[in-house]
Amino acid sequence: MLVVGAGNAAMCAALAARDEGADVLVLERAPEAERGGNTAFTAGAMRTVYDGVADLQALMPDLSAEEIATTDFGVYRADQFYADMERVTEYRADPDLVEVMVSRSHETLKWMAGKGIRFAPIFGRQAYKVDGRFRFWGGLTVEVVGGGLGLVESEHKIAAKDGVGILYNSRAVSLLADDDGIHGVVAVVDGVTTEIRARAVVLACGGFQANVEWRTRYLGPGWDLAKVRGTRFNTGEGHRMAFEAGASAAGHWSGCHAVGWDRNAPEYGDLAVGDGFQKHSYPFGIMVNADGRRFVDEGADFRNYTYAKYGRRILEQPGQFAWQVFDQKVVHLLRDEYRIREVTRVQAATLEELAYRLDGVDPEGFLAEVAAFNAAVDVTVPFDPTVKDGRGTTGLAVPKSNWANPVTEGPFLAFQVTCGVTFTFGGIRITPQAQVVSTEGTVMPGLFACGEIIGGLFYHNYPGGTGLTAGSVFGRVAGTNAASEASRQQRDAAGE
């Protein structure tokens, strides 16, 4: 069988197919140095259900007794995962696909751990120390050791050991299709066009976010000005091939995962920086546009549930940028990405000085906005970054619902951000078995899909850490079922 793509979803499909005894060939459009699709650019967080520490130990056997004793991991039950998916997608997510992802999340990560992929608690980004104990928040506890690059390296190493073949510099351009189904692809391998026959094909080649023309066509005006967080190779080729063969579209085609991203980041992702261009500590400060005005409720929810939609809001602002502003009361809470060398940052001893250092911002508008914000904060409510603390504002047109602090203690820090697109939500329609569905509503024999190319899971927004989990779950499902399909065809050909 054949897998198109070489990121997390693709490699999970390949490994699952090998578990079933299938011969597997992976086509990777990128050169080896850029392999792994968007997976290589992610921080590696994975959302999974767990009912206490024992479930986490099954994924992280290296979890020490001291870590367990000093940490409140809490629980994240299936009903909580379902509720988060329903809420953030405005109740549009395909319930059958959500059920597969949620119900198989823990067992899939356990399967990955059994293959040698290492997981660890996300102490650095998802836990704060309160009264001597680390407390996790936002339903996100597990990350891959080494982040996205570590995951890519591990999966490719395991695949090589398992006998999975990989061709780099290999761009699939069309599916080999007839009335009986899909029989392989036409690909350009190292500049040579060739047919590659297979009894089953898994499309796992990402969204279309790196295609500036498609972004503008489907997401709308202004999206040509957004940055791309990840790989330059996800241009919608898989979508196009599938649709030309008769596949049905699904999902939120005018929606995408888009975050606050450094204003001066390059057009596409930089593997040397990875996800360091993101700026996700905005719940603890304020965010202002070119008029100096706040335009979102920075504390509406944990960043896990707002960051993937606030990139769109930033893109809608004049000049497609914003400044995140923090004072010394919260600087210690800023994530590591605020301390990298490649950051657009200013600092000032006073707010007046800061106002004139915020490039592109009306200084008088900014000072008036900060004064109004500071006066509106209810300081009688205790500040607690580990819960939605209800420390908010009153009387503002744009409220801040949680984690509000008057911006008063200098020196003040500010970081300039624009919109960074992670992946697009519109994709190919699949069944819960990862089979691609035709425009006639029938399953297309021999064709499966997984990862960011599928549609129907995410609408408007996204719970943090769900992308890698969805890729792993549906990758495993796709690989297992594609291997079964290939085996069935082989038996039929042999007359068994």
404-429 pLDDT per residue, tens: 999 999 999 999 999 999 999 999 99
Task: Confirm whether 441 is domain-assigned.
Answer: yes
CATH number at residue 165: 3.50.50.60
What CATH number did the domain enclosing 309 receive? 3.90.700.10
At 203, is the pLDDT very low, low, confident or very high (cuts 50, 70, 90)?
A: very high
- The stretch 258-270 carries a mean pLDDT of 96
Radius of gyration of the chain (CA): 23
- If pLDDT is split at 50, 70 and 90, which confidence band does 488 have? confident
pLDDT > 90? residue 397: yes
Q: Which of 380, 397, 420 is the last residue of a domain?
A: 420
Range with lowest mean pLDDT among 15-19, 467-471, 476-480, 489-493 = 489-493
In a domain, 216, yes or no: no
Please indicate, yes or no, whether residues 433 and 388 belong to a single structural domain of this protein. no
Residue 486 within any structural domain of the chain: yes
Q: What's the Cα-to-Cα distance from 304 to each of 40, 140, 200, 300, 439, rounded to whole Å?
A: 20, 8, 36, 11, 35
Q: Name the pLDDT band for 496 (thresholds 50, 70, 90).
A: low
Is residue 242, in this structure, part of any structural domain at all?
A: no
User: Do 284 and 328 fall within a single domain?
Assistant: yes
Residue at 135 is within a domain: no
Tell whether 245 is covered by a domain.
no
Q: Per residue in 271-285, pLDDT tens?
A: 999 999 999 999 999
Report if residue 487 sits inside a domain: yes
pLDDT of residue 444: 98
Torsion of CA 124, 400, 467, 437, to 10 degrees: 170
Same domain, residue pair 326 and 436: no
Q: Looking at 155-159, 170-174, 273-277, which range is the least confident one?
A: 273-277
The number of distinct structural domains making up the chain is 2
* 327 and 342 co-located in one domain: yes
158 Cβ contact partners less than 8 Å away, ≥ 6 residues apart? 15, 115, 116, 117
With 0-12 / 13-18 / 19 or more C-beta atoms within 10 angstroms meaning exposed / middle / buried, residue 134 is middle
Do 195 and 110 belong to one domain? yes
Query: Domain ends where: 420, 453, 478?
Result: 420
Q: Are residues 270 and 386 in the same domain?
A: yes
Q: Helix, strand or coil for residue 469? A: helix
Average pLDDT in the chain: 96
Task: Please tell me whether residues 378 and 457 are part of one structural domain.
Answer: no
Domain edge (last residue) among 420, 437, 454: 420
CA–CA dist 410, 327 (Å, integer): 6
Residue 447 lies in a domain: yes
Q: Are residues 488 and 354 in the same domain?
A: no
User: How much of the chain, in percent, has pLDDT values that exceed 70?
Assistant: 100
Per the CB < 8 A criterion, the answer to whether 126 and 140 are in contact is yes
175 and 311 housed in the same domain: no
Domain, as residue range, for 368: 257-420
Do 382 and 432 lie in one domain? The reply is no
Q: Which pLDDT belongs to residue 124?
A: 81
Q: Are residues 162 and 22 in the same domain?
A: yes
Same domain, 263 and 370: yes
